[in-house]
């Protein structure tokens, strides 16, 4: 079902989807093209699933939850996810090549998108096996006498996972493995631009694990209404979604009639406050690098750089030099660290937002267009905009491209106010020499996560989630695992 196109390493993924334990095409045989963004050529096809396919997948997941022992057999779940971890390890290089083909992610930076999620499978298997599903809450006095209370953590039920295209394999794993280990059944709807990271996951489950039919399903489709059907289906108990805030609002609305539990990781417009006592030569090259790696297609990217007026020109020059010398090109070349945007539509959105910044008074320091040496592929130059109006579109809207907007400030209070001037609150960063001062600034930023001096907030053991319109709930950590569980309090005699 897979094939290598040529010596570039481009690899077509499995066309099929997984429903009720069977790898299958949609009944009409319809497919849609998957484009390699570095060449703009068709790399292969994926089956074009329908609303009827989604309804069958949800039905299979509902039956598997209600009529099998999956939700109650912890040892078997551990066995299956241990198998899955080993199977992912065996398929690691295959998955890497599929990822690069679909996304255009440079091979040099695929570790966080391949090795990391594979290790997360092992982590969640161990975490779930050791989790205390029946916790003693102690003895409490009541009008009817003392009562012992226990908290029983039980799976939510059927979980629908809708994932984006920027880090598809990682998020397919992150949104489904904790759910499965907690005892839920799952229907995965991968992004339209990256269907193979989902279909290959389904193939591996079907061919290399003992996960029962219906417990894990993958529905691949090029139609928006298929994901919408998953969100609205009353048989689905929970939706987990990563993507745009606009789509997140639609998912909330679709789930409202059944008061569906919803876990959302939405858009971001993170700010990096660089304090006047920061080591600019440490902080700013990394800020420029992070804007370019993954072509800027990251929800946590600190794309607004706030510089003190006293060191403004110095900071801009450092980032300019870094971005002008950043290695952009063929993702199969290990010397490159920035590949193409995912699609021509995404590239045009990025270029349009850059132009909107210039039109609103921003100064183009470097970049702003298509690299002359890369006429083929959806590439955008690393771009630095200075003197950006904090209220302008380019400072307020998520770009998802290799673009930094630099905004000057006077004093910590103004920097914090500018950083908080956003509907989003997913991530942020502070750089400074005085750690106590940097921590106080970080505490005042209205965001779910903050990095100080490059020490990342993101990790499997720490909760990750957004404030304001950047989401609801958490991934990772104890809090992230509990998102896929319901807490039942039981009162009983002492």
Question: What CA–CA distance (Å, rounded) separates 221 from 485?
Answer: 29
As a whole number of angstroms, the distance between CA 223 and CA 157 comes to 26
Cα 58 to Cα 50: distance, rounded to the nearest angstrom: 13
Q: Which of 15, 120, 200, 265 is catalytic?
A: 265
Q: Please report the DSSP string for 43-86 in residue order.
A: EEEEE---HHHHHHHHHHHHHHHHHSSTTT-HHHHHHHHHHHHH
Q: How far apart are CA 406 and CA 246, in angstroms?
A: 26
Beta strands (DSSP E) in 320-380 are: 363-366
State the CB neighbour count (10 A cutoff) for residue 420: 15
Residue 171 near residue 114 (C-beta atoms within 8 A): no
Instruction: List the structure tokens of 289.
Output: 């690098």
Per-position DSSP letters for 388-425, written without gaps between them: --TTSHHHHS---SSEEEEEEESSHHHHHHHHT-SSEE
Distance between CA 44 and CA 312 in Å, rounded?
48
Phi and psi for 257 in degrees, rounded to 5?
Answer: -60, -30
DSSP assigned state of 212: P
DSSP 8-state symbol, 338: B
The tokens describing 290, both together, are 């992070």
Tell me, yes or no, if 265 is annotated catalytic: yes
Supply the residues annotated as catalytic.
265
């Amino acid at each position: 079902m897979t094939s290598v196109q040529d010596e570039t390493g481009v690899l077509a993924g499995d066309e099929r989807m997984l429903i009720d334990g069977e790898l299958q095409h949609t009944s009409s045989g319809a497919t849609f093209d998957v484009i390699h963004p570095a060449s703009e050529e068709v790399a292969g096809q994926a089956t074009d699933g329908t609303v009827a396919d989604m309804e069958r997948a949800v039905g299979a997941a509902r039956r598997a939850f209600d009529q099998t022992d999956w939700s109650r057999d912890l040892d078997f779940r551990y066995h299956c996810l241990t198998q899955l971890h080993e199977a992912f390890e065996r398929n690691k290089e295959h998955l890497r090549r599929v990822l690069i083909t679909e996304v255009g992610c440079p091979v040099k930076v695929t570790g966080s998108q391949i090795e990391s999620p594979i290790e997360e499978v092992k982590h969640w298997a161990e975490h779930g096996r050791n989790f205390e599903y029946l916790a003693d809450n102690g003895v409490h006095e009541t009008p009817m006498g003392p009562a012992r209370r226990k908290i029983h953590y039980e799976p939510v039920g059927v979980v629908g996972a809708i994932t984006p295209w920027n880090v598809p394999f990682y998020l397919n794993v992150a949104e489904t493995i904790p759910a499965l280990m907690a005892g839920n059944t799952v229907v995965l709807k991968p992004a339209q631009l990256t269907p193979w990271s989902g279909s290959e996951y389904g193939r591996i489950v079907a061919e290399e694990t003992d996960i029962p039919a219906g417990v894990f399903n993958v529905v691949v489709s090029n139609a928006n209404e298929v994901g919408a059907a998953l969100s609205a289906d009353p048989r689905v108990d929970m939706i987990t979604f990563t993507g745009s805030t606009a789509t997140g609002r639609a998912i909330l609305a679709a789930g409202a009639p059944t008061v569906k539990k919803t876990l959302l990781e939405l858009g971001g417009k993170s700010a990096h406050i660089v304090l006047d006592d920061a080591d600019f030569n440490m902080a700013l090259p990394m800020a420029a690098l992070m804007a370019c790696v993954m072509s800027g297609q990251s929800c946590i990217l600190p794309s607004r750089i706030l510089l003190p007026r006293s060191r403004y020109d110095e900071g801009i020059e450092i980032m300019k030099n870094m971005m002008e010398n950043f290695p952009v090109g063929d993702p199969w070349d290990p010397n490159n660290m920035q590949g193409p945007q995912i699609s021509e539509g995404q590239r045009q959105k990025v270029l349009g937002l850059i132009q909107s910044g210039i039109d609103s008074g921003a100064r183009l320091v470097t970049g702003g267009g298509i690299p002359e040496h890369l006429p083929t592929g959806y590439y955008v130059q690393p771009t630095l905009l200075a003197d950006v109006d904090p209220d302008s579109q380019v400072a307020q809207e998520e770009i998802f491209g290799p673009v930094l907007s630099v905004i000057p400030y006077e004093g910590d209070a103004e920097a914090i106010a500018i950083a908080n001037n956003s509907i989003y609150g997913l991530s942020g960063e502070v750089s400074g020499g005085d750690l106590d001062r940097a921590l106080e600034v970080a505490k005042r930023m209205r965001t779910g996560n903050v990095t100080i001096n490059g020490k990342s907030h993101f990790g499997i053991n720490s909760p990750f989630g957004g404030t304001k319109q950047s989401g609801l709930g958490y991934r990772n950590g104890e809090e992230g695992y509990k998102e896929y569980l319901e807490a039942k309090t039981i009162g009983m005699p002492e």
